[in-house]
């Protein structure tokens, strides 16, 4: 467990026990610049920016994960196992599957279905169900309620496919899956294997079944409600 790693330039003690993890490293930069005090950048390898600062006097870090389960799999594994991080809260974007979920709605991923083979590495004698850490989940819901921010809690789909030739989202909708994203299942599995905590809070950036979408700048700078829920949890 040598640090710095191939992917992370941080040294021992430079990363907080709780890390907020957006997919977009520029969203990490936005959070650091707008919510944290006494900020220091600990990582810029591959432009996967990571920052540590203070929020209301408490040390907290924020770092990009990149897109997809292989990418968040690497970064979250190293944070849990090499840097002794206890909590990772993914704050990402997602596509709504259920019709009554709209742009900018907030979803909290209680569980993460997946079409990935990520769990095959564990050689389990069955199908593993990746779930959030209940203490983080309940804390996020409580904060959202206090801030009067509406949230939906339920299953999300962590897909390996952004362009799905089979167009399978309707099949997942039949099972009540709320939204599709690309990282939560791997994060939840890494947390479980390391004995640590994880939660995925998502803002709806698009409704693929209805042809609705926000802009890249919106996703970087305006999804502030989920940021405010997550940062209060730090």
Delimit the domains of the chain by residue range. 18-233
Q: Which residues contact 78 (CB under 8 A, 6 or more apart)?
A: 5, 7, 8
pLDDT computed for residue 43 by the predictor? 98
CATH of region 18-233? 3.40.50.1580
pLDDT-above-70 percentage for the chain: 100
Task: Confirm whether pTM is higher than 0.85.
Answer: yes
Please indicate whether residue 24 is annotated as part of the active site.
no
Q: Using one digit for the tens of pLDDT, what is the confidence trace for 39-57?
A: 999 999 999 999 999 999 9
Q: Which residues contact 217 (CB under 8 A, 6 or more apart)?
A: none
Residue 125 has pLDDT above 80, yes or no: yes
DSSP states along 59-110: EEEEE---SSHHHHHHHHHHHHHTS---EEEEEEEEEE-STT--TT-EEEEE
Residue 113 has pLDDT above 90, yes or no: yes
For residues 176-189, give the mean pLDDT. 98
Q: Which of 84, 99, 160, 206 is catalytic?
A: 206
Residue 24 has pLDDT above 90, yes or no: yes
């Amino acid at each position: 467990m040598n640090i710095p790693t191939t992917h992370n330039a941080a040294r021992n003690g430079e990363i907080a026990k709780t890390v907020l993890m957006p997919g977009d490293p520029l969203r990490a930069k936005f959070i650091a610049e707008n919510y944290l005090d006494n900020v220091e950048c600990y990582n810029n390898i591959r432009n996967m920016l990571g920052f540590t600062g203070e929020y209301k006097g408490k040390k907290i870090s924020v770092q990009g994960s990149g897109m997809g389960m292989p990418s968040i799999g690497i970064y979250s594994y190293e944070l849990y196992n090499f840097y002794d991080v206890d909590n990772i809260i993914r704050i990402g974007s997602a596509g709504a599957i259920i019709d009554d979920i709209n742009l900018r709605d907030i979803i909290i991923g209680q569980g993460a279905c997946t079409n990935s083979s990520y769990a095959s590495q564990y050689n389990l004698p069955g199908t593993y169900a990746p779930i959030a850490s209940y203490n983080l989940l309940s804390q996020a819901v409580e904060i959202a309620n206090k801030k009067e921010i509406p949230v939906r809690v339920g299953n999300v789909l962590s897909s390996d496919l952004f362009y799905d030739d089979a167009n399978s989202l309707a099949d997942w909708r039949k099972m009540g899956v709320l939204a599709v994203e690309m990282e939560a299942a791997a994060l939840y599995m890494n947390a479980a294997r390391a004995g640590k905590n994880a939660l995925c809070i998502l803002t709806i950036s698009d409704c693929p079944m209805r042809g609705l979408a926000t802009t890249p700048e919106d996703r970087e700078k305006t999804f502030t409600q989920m940021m405010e829920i997550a940062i209060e949890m730090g």
